[in-house]
Chain A
Amino acid sequence: MNEQAIKDLLYKLADDQLILGHRNSEWTGFGPILEEDIAFSSMAQDKIGHSLAFYTLLHELGEAEPDTVAFTRNANQFHNSQLVELPNGEYDFSLIRHFLYDNSEIIRFEMLSQSSYEPIAKVATKLKGEVKYHVLHANTWIKNLGTSTEEAILRLQSALADALPYALGMFEKSKYEQELIEAGVYAGEEAVKAEWLKRIQAVIEKTDLKLPDLESITPKFGGRYGEHTEHLQPLLDEMAEVFKIDPTAEW
């Protein structure tokens, strides 16, 4: 097995989850309903926990400690899709992003739990149930709000239009795409995307929302290899503000 290929995959999984978990944690205490505040915060913690699990696998492959990897790299060293680094916006955007992201995440976890690379398969199998709740949460909200008031439908429709180019960016192919597929690590980005499309369509069909023609949208690629929006570096600076006071200290 090509270790570089595995690392490439692990980095993008871990970075996506770290950055989205961080963004979601910005809602804690500010949510639209107390119970939803709590639910969103749990999912944020789960995401950070998932990223830690994958950084730990990277560490076992010789990369630096998870804390060092997460808290000391610069934006151009991050492999997350641009979708997850965008600011939270209002709750409509955060929900749509959560819906688009987690519906692809669950497919990755399902595939990876069958992976030929055993350490990933073990982690994915263990954590899959958490992502299942995230998807249930997202789909329930989209179905409810997407069939409610004109105001809510307009909001979600507009958030969907904003988020989709970035969401398609999640499926940017790896340099090692063929190797990963051939080695049975997972079925690759095209396969994830095809399944994702089916699943989000199935939810959106139950609502008054319309899925724009994806062929007409140019995906925002680049995130997987260090090209990011202007939002990522300030996020990282903020995340590491205390850590960097003394990176060698035990906090």
Chain B
Amino acid sequence: MYGGGNVFEATKFDDLQTEDPAKLAEFEARIARGEKIEPTDWMPELYRKQLIRMIEQHAHSEIIGALPEGTWITRAPGFRRKMAQMAKVQDEVGHAQLLYSAAETLGKSREQMLTDLINGKSKYSNVFNYPAFTWADSNIISWLIDAGAIVNQMANAKGSYGPYSRALERICAEEAFHLKYGHDAVVHMATGSPKQREMIQAALNRWWPPIMTFFGPSDKMSTHTETLMRWKVKMASNDECRQQFLDMYVPKIWELGLTVPDSKLKKNQETGQWEFTEPDWNEFKRVINGDGPCNAERLAVRRTAEERGAWVRRALLNPKAKYVKPLA
């Protein structure tokens, strides 16, 4: 799911002066023609670094994103939900595998990425630092966080890097199930018993503020951002994604008689834009830097999986094997 809220930072490679102008021109012309870039093509260092960073964060968001919904995997009510919840969480792990592979084609090994995740050197989508208190929270995540992720991923699938596009096409195909499953579960709760309705409204109240930060703060337009958009690394602005999400999903929430916990939320009929209470970006920063309700637990779980699985990898590692990047 979840490519949301990428913060592109400046790097020392911003200075394109160091790149070979002829190769750069050829690279840009290829993208302008609408052709994808493949792993063995020449590419500017800035392109490579930013893509690794973006795809890696996306992959981390999948593997960590498996945990909030995983909270309810052993407690899903009834066969239908039990099997679907298992398949849904499994898909997130599968998506992580696909995305790590896409990032690997750019030259960073999967294990290095996982180590950077566990040591806090590399970020993931901030929403997963929040807890899933009840089964209903898990339903809201399945529906609305995945909905947000799909908005993001559909845009990114049109990006210029071949392996990332291929991975995203597969991911989007799988996520059609997530979205429907999540919506189905929320509808059952909202139209069910008073207790179920109360549970789903409470979960929506808890998750709405994190959801509003899912796409990240408004982009500061800079030459840097312009370059990444020209290269089709960044495909849509954070605000555009947020507006599109609100357009598609607020009516679906309202039709269930649920209340979105933001009294300012409305669509301005003149501008066509949604108005809302500005999310608490200070809290966003605080949480993304480690001080959220679940940051420590999320990383501890990932680390434990790594550490307790180490004997399996030690046992079967071929000492003569050299690291080979995936082909595409």
Contact = CB atoms under 8 A, between A and B. Distances in A.
A and B touch in the complex (CB under 8 A): yes
A96 B46 CA distance: 48
Given A31-B305, A148-B315, A251 B78 contact: yes
B63 A34 contact: yes
B314 interface: yes
A22 B193 contact: no
A32 B315 contact: no
A155 B70 CA distance: 28
B251 interface: no
Contacts of B92: 29
Interface string B65-102: 01100101111111101110011011011101100100
B74 A25 contact: yes
Interface residues of A, number: 46
Contacts of B316: 144-145, 148
Nearest to A235: B74
B314 A242 contact: no
Contacts of A222: none
Interface string A215-241: 000000000000000000000001111
Nearest to A150: B315
A33 B97 CA distance: 10
B195 interface: yes
A45 B83 contact: yes
B192 interface: yes
Nearest to A155: B311
A109 to B, nearest CB: 19
A29 B66 contact: yes
Contacts of A144: 315-316
Given A242-B77, A245-B195, A149 B315 contact: yes
Nearest to B195: A246
Nearest to B72: A242
A29 B79 contact: no
Interface in B33-82: 63, 66-67, 70, 72-79, 81-82
A36 B316 CA distance: 13
Contact of A91 (B63, B83, B93, B312): B312
A26 B67 CA distance: 11
Nearest to B189: A251
Contact of A246 (B185, B193, B304): B193
A17 to B, nearest CB: 12
A28 B90 contact: yes
Contact of B74 (A22, A71, A90, A145): A22
Interface in A169-201: none
Interface of B: 63, 66-67, 70, 72-79, 81-83, 86-87, 89-90, 92-94, 96-97, 100, 110, 135, 185, 188-189, 192-193, 195-196, 301, 304-305, 308-316
14 contacts: A26-B74, A29-B66, A32-B305, A38-B97, A45-B90, A144-B316, A149-B315, A239-B74, A245-B77, A246-B193, A246-B195, A251-B77, A251-B192, A251-B196
Interface of A: 22, 25-26, 28-38, 41-42, 44-45, 48-49, 52, 66-67, 70-71, 90-92, 144-145, 148-149, 151-152, 155, 238-243, 245-246, 249-251
